[in-house]
Amino acid sequence: MNRELYASLVFELSAPGRKGYFLPDSGIPADGALDGIPSGLLREKDPQLPECDELTVVRHYNNMSTNNFGVDTGFYPLGSCTMKYNPKINEEIASHPAFSGLHPYTPACASQGALEAYWHLQKALCEIGGMAEFTLNPFAGAHGELTGLMVIRRYHESRGDTGRRKVIVPDSAHGTNPASAAVAGLEIVEVKSRPDGTVDVDDLRPLLDESVAAVMMTNPNTLGIFEKNIPEIARLVHEAGALMYYDGANLNPMLGVARPGDMGFDVMHINLHKTFSTPHGGGGPGSGPVGVRKGLEQFLPSPRVVSRQVNRDDIPVGEHERYALEYGPESLGSVSATLGNFAVQLRALSYILTLGAEGLMEAGPLATLNANYVKEKLKADYLLPIEGVCKHEFVFDGLRDKSTGVTTLNVAKRLLDHGYHAPTIYFPLLFHESLMIEPTETESRETLDKFVEVMRSIAREARETPEVVINAPLNPPVTHPDDTEAALHPILTYDELLNGKV
Ligand SMILES: *Cc1c(COP(=O)(O)O)cnc(C)c1O
């Protein structure tokens, strides 16, 4: 076992008999406490618990926490994932005992306040997306895509139009788009991008016929380029009887600028954990609400939270609104055991209300300004395959000077030595050396300037002392893990570690 790679486990710090607590004598004899418990339910051996003093435990957890990296420790320009700052007031709201103590199956009559918050978020997202209704039930972006495609399938079936089995996806799409279409039992057809990074309408036109259920698009797309031809594409798609699906995982650049519903999209999802600020490093937690235009709301998953006028003798009509759960007969059914990830929803509502309409309207333009600022400052050193104004993010195709032998992976690892999280690399798949940068609107000019300086210094190193970049990183606790081995044979338990799988 390579000790250098692993911080000690708390079990390894354990010493027999060492304690960090003093419990008073319960007064119940050890055997007596077990009276009445069937012997089959009693453990045969004592549990294997670490025995440590308090100081050891405090140091252990504090040291582990500093081996981590997050937006709260440094700049995190991860393209396609929107690692923006997560305001702490969101955490306070989400962890308020009135919310956090609520059991997920509390009946509607005893959770009116929570349902009211939920309903307001649905309405806010309708306003932001230009949609008629939203469900907050899906647990992630990909889960939202699946739900949205199920709505679309339901729509076609409701009209007796059952031959539509294809989903058209651009070659620049996020990997979850084709994956979700496949899970929804649909066939994927790829449409090409033009050299300017936008969908090729001439390539799309002949693909549109009565076998197509939907076209999935991301706008701005994963290259950070605004798809200018959406109105024409929407017209062609609708003429062919198919629906337009909008991947709104990163809605940042659109906030306050444009709405998918106004562009002709019928169904969309939003990643609350990206655009509306929930810490989501390491794969969670998430929430992927799905919005639909008027005429599709009856197909949304059940239950839905609705607000209805109370019409009872003891309450004057129109004075009280009550929030209720609705199970519609035409609904596609349930996509989650509960109403979704409530803590993430609360953070999003808190973020939206804190910024207000005015603040939200500034987020998109600022995110775009920051991305263009960094792009323009770096394009002398890094290869910019698509010139022009980008939106919230942009993609370099590695270093401009291709003679140094330094790859995008090397640049990303060298950034770790400087205390930055690496950008997204080798995605999108359109270029060999993709390096995708998304600064977000929450970073200051000083932070961006420092990042630019470091990126330039790495380009200089690549020319002058390439081996320094190629051998990076030197500073992090783990420096050169074997990526392939880690993917093929991950070590997931302590036993595997001890038994020399390393
Ligand atoms: C992140 C992302 C998704 C998937 O969202 P998850 O919550 O990770 O499932 C889909 N599309 C785009 C463009 C994304 O950036």
Helix (H, G, I), strand (E, B), or coil: what is residue 434? strand
- H or E element, residue 135: strand 133-135
Q: Tokens for 151?
A: 């709505």
Provide Rg for the chain, Cα atoms: 26
Ligand 1 pocket, residue 392 CB under 6 Å: no
Choose one of 351, 383, 406: the last residue of a domain: 351
Note whether 306 and 116 are within 8 A (CB): no
Q: Tokens for 184?
A: 């929804």
477 versus 43: which is more confidently predicted?
43
Number of domains in the chain: 2
Mean pLDDT of 93-108: 93
Ligand 1 pocket, residue 140 CB under 6 Å: yes
Quick one: pLDDT at residue 490? Answer: 87
Mean pLDDT of 347-362: 96
Flag whether pLDDT at 392 surpasses 50: yes
Note whether 252 and 367 are within 8 A (CB): yes
Ligand 1: nearest atom to the Cα of 274: 1
Mean pLDDT of 68-90: 93
Flag whether pLDDT at 386 surpasses 90: yes
Ligand 1 pocket, residue 221 CB under 6 Å: no
Question: Domain of 185: which CATH number?
Answer: 3.40.640.10
Cis previous bond, 220, omega within 30: yes
Query: What is the tens place of the pLDDT at every residue in 241-298?
Result: 999 999 999 999 998 899 999 999 999 999 999 999 998 877 779 999 999 999 999 9
Ligand 1 pocket, residue 217 CB under 6 Å: no
Query: What is the tens place of the pLDDT at every residue in 416-458?
Result: 999 999 999 999 988 999 999 999 999 999 999 999 999 999 9
Mean pLDDT of 468-488: 89
In the sheet that holds 434-437, the strands lie side by side as 394-397, 434-437, 424-425
Q: Is residue 7 part of a domain?
A: no
- Going through 336-419 in order, the beta strands assigned E by DSSP cover 394-397
Ligand 1 pocket, residue 178 CB under 6 Å: no
Mean pLDDT of 479-496: 86
Residues 376, 343 share a domain? no
Residues 346, 361 share a domain? no
Residue 498: which residues within 8 A CB-CB, separation 6 or more? 1
Residues 122, 253 share a domain? yes
Flag whether pLDDT at 361 surpasses 90: yes
- Going through 255-385 in order, the beta strands assigned E by DSSP cover 267-270, 290-292, 304-309, 321-326
Q: Report the distance separating Cα 94 and Cα 106, nearest Å.
A: 17
Flag whether pLDDT at 4 surpasses 80: no
Distance (Å) from CA 138 to ligand 1 centroid: 13
Across all residues in the chain, what is the average pLDDT?
Answer: 91
Q: Report the distance separating Cα 136 and Cα 339, nearest Å.
A: 7
CA 296 to chain centre: 25
Residue 468's identity, in one-letter code, is V
Residues 207, 181 share a domain? yes
Q: Is residue 181 part of a domain?
A: yes
% of the chain beyond a pLDDT of 70: 95
Q: Report the distance separating Cα 298 and Cα 328, nearest Å.
A: 7
Residues 377, 264 share a domain? no
Residues 259, 326 share a domain? yes
- Going through 147-283 in order, the beta strands assigned E by DSSP cover 166-170, 187-191, 212-217, 243-248, 267-270
Quick one: pLDDT at residue 284? Answer: 76
Q: Is residue 55 part of a domain?
A: no
Ligand 1 pocket, residue 224 CB under 6 Å: no
Q: Is residue 402 part of a domain?
A: yes
Residues 430, 298 share a domain? no
Flag whether pLDDT at 318 surpasses 70: no
Choose one of 302, 336, 351: the last residue of a domain: 351
Distance (Å) from CA 207 to ligand 1 centroid: 25
Flag whether pLDDT at 151 surpasses 50: yes
Residues 327, 391 share a domain? no
Looking up tokens 């599709």, which residue turns up?
296
Ligand 1 pocket, residue 248 CB under 6 Å: no
Choose one of 351, 366, 398: the last residue of a domain: 351
Ligand 1 pocket, residue 141 CB under 6 Å: yes
Quick one: pLDDT at residue 319? Answer: 46
User: Any idea which of 4-13, 78-87, 155-164, 316-325 has the lowest mean pLDDT?
Assistant: 316-325
pTM for the complete prediction?
Answer: 0.88
Residue 472's identity, in one-letter code, is A
Flag whether pLDDT at 32 surpasses 60: yes
Residues 369, 339 share a domain? no
Residues 361, 337 share a domain? no
Q: Is residue 25 part of a domain?
A: no
Range of the domain at 202: 88-351
Distance (Å) from CA 340 to ligand 1 centroid: 17
Q: Report the distance separating Cα 462 and Cα 382, nearest Å.
A: 11
Query: What is the tens place of the pLDDT at every residue in 47-68?
Result: 889 999 999 999 999 888 887 8
Residue 215: which residues within 8 A CB-CB, separation 6 or more? 167, 168, 169, 191, 204, 208, 233, 237, 242, 243, 244, 245
Quick one: pLDDT at residue 44? Answer: 87
Note whether 306 and 285 are within 8 A (CB): no
Looking up tokens 């629906």, which residue turns up?
243
Quick one: pLDDT at residue 5? Answer: 45
Q: Report the distance separating Cα 272 and Cα 283, nearest Å.
A: 13
Query: What is the tens place of the pLDDT at every residue in 230-257?
Result: 999 999 999 999 999 999 999 999 988 9
Distance (Å) from CA 283 to ligand 1 centroid: 11
Q: What is the DSSP letter of 75?
A: -
Q: Report the distance separating Cα 385 and Cα 108, nearest Å.
A: 54
Angle between helices 408-417 and 445-464 (to 10 degrees): 120
Flag whether pLDDT at 321 surpasses 70: no
Ligand 1 pocket, residue 169 CB under 6 Å: no
Ligand 1 pocket, residue 174 CB under 6 Å: yes
Q: Tokens for 293?
A: 């235009």
Q: Is residue 63 part of a domain?
A: no
Residues 223, 181 share a domain? yes
How long, in residues, is the chain?
A: 502
Quick one: pLDDT at residue 1? Answer: 35
Quick one: pLDDT at residue 2? Answer: 43
Note whether 215 and 242 are within 8 A (CB): yes
Note whether 197 and 221 are within 8 A (CB): yes
In which band, very low, low, confident or very high, does the pLDDT at 316 lie, cut at 50, 70 and 90? Answer: low
Ligand 1 pocket, residue 340 CB under 6 Å: no
Helix (H, G, I), strand (E, B), or coil: what is residue 284? coil
46 versus 397: which is more confidently predicted?
397
Residues 372, 346 share a domain? no
Flag whether pLDDT at 170 surpasses 70: yes
Q: Is residue 28 part of a domain?
A: no
Flag whether pLDDT at 28 surpasses 80: no
Question: Domain of 419: which CATH number?
Answer: 3.90.1150.10
Which of 247, 270, 290, 393 has most ligand 1 atoms within 8 Å of CB, for mutation? 247
Q: Is residue 321 part of a domain?
A: yes
Please write down the long-range contacts of 188-191, taking CB distance under 8 Å and 24 or more positions apart.
191/215
